[in-house]
Amino acid sequence: MKLVILDRDGVINKDSTNFIKNPNEWISIPGSLEAIALLNQSGFRVAIATNQSGISRGLFDMATLNSIHDKMHRELALVGGRIDAVFYCPHSADDHCDCRKPKIGMIKEIGKRFSVELNQVFAVGDAFRDLQAFADAGCRPILVRTGKGEETLKTGSLPKNTLIFADLNEAVQHIISENTYLENT
């Protein structure tokens, strides 16, 4: 099975320092939904791994998070795309859970759920904590320059072998071309 893991805020949709607290604040990054649809059409399953500490902070509840994701699913369906699973961590950093990125609990759970070896999985994020979790779990990390990506790039301390692309669309083009090359060799 071919799988790609995506962070949500800053990769698929525009990020906000004040959190995405309702469906109206969830606005896709141009080209991101079409990129996911292209992954689907190329035989990839897509999972999201997202920290959502706004829940534990009381900024929104589970029903609101579900409404935000419903909007994402509807907009994706309009361009022929789908997300196969959404994994989220509702905890704050103070909760010291194992699922909040940069820890690897959520990423390992995705690997188990889809029965895949994570070293074969590209994982796309815009923040250092995404990339660290992906790399520590054994995934192939990709940084996109959308969202917090430019800030992350300026730190200069990316995990080893991190690929860098302008946005999700460019990253997906690489993922598909590499997969096509491997299938034909």
Q: What is the pLDDT of residues 156-182, one digit of tens each?
A: 889 999 999 999 999 999 999 988 766
Query: What's the pTM?
Result: 0.96
- Which pLDDT score is estimated for 182? 67
Domain segments of the chain: what residues? 2-183
Q: How far apart are CA 70 and CA 94, in angstroms?
A: 29
CATH class of 2-183: alpha beta
Q: How far apart are CA 82 and CA 42, in angstroms?
A: 12
Strands 2-6 and 163-165: unpaired
pLDDT tens-place string over residues 83-122: 999 999 999 989 999 999 999 999 999 999 999 999 999 9
DSSP reduced 3-state for 117: coil
Q: How many CB atoms lie within 10 A of CB 161?
A: 8
Query: Does residue 9 carry a catalytic annotation?
Result: yes
The answer to whether 27 and 14 are in contact (CB under 8 A) is yes
Query: Does residue 7 carry a catalytic annotation?
Result: yes
**Mean pLDDT rounded to a whole number for the chain:** 96
Of the candidates 9, 15, 130, 167, the residue annotated as catalytic is 9
Beta bridge partners of residue 163, listed in sequence order: 142
